[in-house]
């Protein structure tokens, strides 16, 4: 048993820096949020209900999916299944941050995770790959993204008519372009490229043959397996320890 030592100290100055750093990205999130606000009111949610959903759920793709299922009645289990499947990538994202998060007290650790979302996670994970520990971006960046999501939803429910067809402006591609830019910004070793190929093929197979919304997790786990069996060169002395699995 290791004795817990919570050695990571969040720096408030860095939190503010990360808030500012993700501000430009958050402008795209405002547009995406406006598209959600519009979709939500069109499927019968009241403005305040759409806002409340954005404030508490803060997970765009699953919120869009929920509006597709909205009617005079909503079936609970299918709704839960869809929300879980779309957001199950958070499980993997959280797990990937664990080596850093374990150095925070449990209160701060789970507090930070309230703001965990694709964009701030991608920055933090990318920094970690490059040897920098950056949990401040989860907090500061998460805060600006959360506010942008709320402001965007608010704009969408009240002024959605201005944005009748967000797709024609390419706004449906914000997340995809962002994720791609983050992936390409990281280091690219042969090991990473093989993992990406495996991840791409597995996610395509899952997208084609497995239930909807499972492809992200399937692809990510398949890519992770490449890392499991193909270690980076440096920890040779640790090879014996890994054999038992």
Q: Which of residues 101-120 bind other proteins (CB under 8 A)?
A: 101-102, 109-110, 113-114, 116
Our finding on whether 226 is near other proteins (CB under 8 A) is yes
Our finding on whether 162 is near other proteins (CB under 8 A) is no
Residue 54 CB, shortest distance to other proteins, in Å, is 10
Residue 161 CB, shortest distance to other proteins, in Å, is 19
Q: How far apart (Å, rounded) are the C-alpha atoms in residues 112 and 11? A: 13
Our finding on whether 161 is near other proteins (CB under 8 A) is no
Our finding on whether 34 is near other proteins (CB under 8 A) is no
Residue 78 CB, shortest distance to other proteins, in Å, is 10
Residues whose CB falls within 8 Å of the CB of residue 90, separated by 6 or more in sequence, listed in order: 59, 116
Residue 49 CB, shortest distance to other proteins, in Å, is 5
Instruction: Judge whether 119 and 89 are in contact, CB under 8 Å.
Output: no
Of 51 and 155, CB closest to other proteins: 51
Of 164 and 168, CB closest to other proteins: 168
User: In this structure, is the dihedral angle defined by the CA atoms of residues 157, 162, 166 and 169, taken in order, positive or negative?
Assistant: negative
Q: How far apart (Å, rounded) are the C-alpha atoms in residues 117 and 63? A: 13
Output DSSP code: residue 135.
-
Identify which of 59, 38, 43 has the alpha carbon closest to the alpha carbon of residue 171: 38
């Amino acid at each position: 048993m290791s004795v817990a030592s919570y050695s990571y100290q969040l720096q408030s100055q860095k939190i503010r820096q990360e808030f500012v750093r993700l501000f430009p990205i958050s402008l795209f999130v405002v547009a995406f949020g406006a598209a959600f606000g519009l979709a939500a009111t069109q499927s019968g949610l009241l403005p305040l209900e759409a806002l409340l959903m954005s404030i508490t759920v803060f997970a765009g793709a699953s919120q869009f999916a929920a509006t597709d299922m909205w009617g005079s009645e909503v079936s609970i289990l299918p709704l839960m299944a869809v929300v879980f499947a779309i957001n199950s990538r958070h499980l993997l994202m959280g797990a990937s941050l664990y080596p850093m998060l374990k150095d925070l007290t449990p209160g701060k650790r789970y507090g930070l995770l309230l703001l965990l979302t694709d964009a701030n996670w991608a920055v933090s994970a990318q920094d970690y790959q490059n040897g920098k520990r950056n949990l401040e971006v989860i907090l500061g960046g998460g805060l600006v993204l959360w506010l942008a999501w709320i402001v965007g939803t608010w704009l969408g429910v009240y002024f959605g008519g201005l944005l009748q067809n967000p797709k024609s402006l390419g706004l449906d591609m914000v997340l995809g372009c962002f994720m791609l830019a983050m992936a390409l910004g990281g280091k690219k070793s042969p090991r990473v490229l093989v993992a990406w190929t495996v991840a791409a093929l597995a996610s395509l197979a899952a997208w084609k043959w497995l239930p909807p919304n499972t492809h992200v997790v399937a692809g990510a786990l398949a890519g992770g397996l490449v890392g499991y069996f193909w270690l980076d060169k440096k920890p040779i002395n640790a090879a014996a320890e890994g054999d038992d699995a």
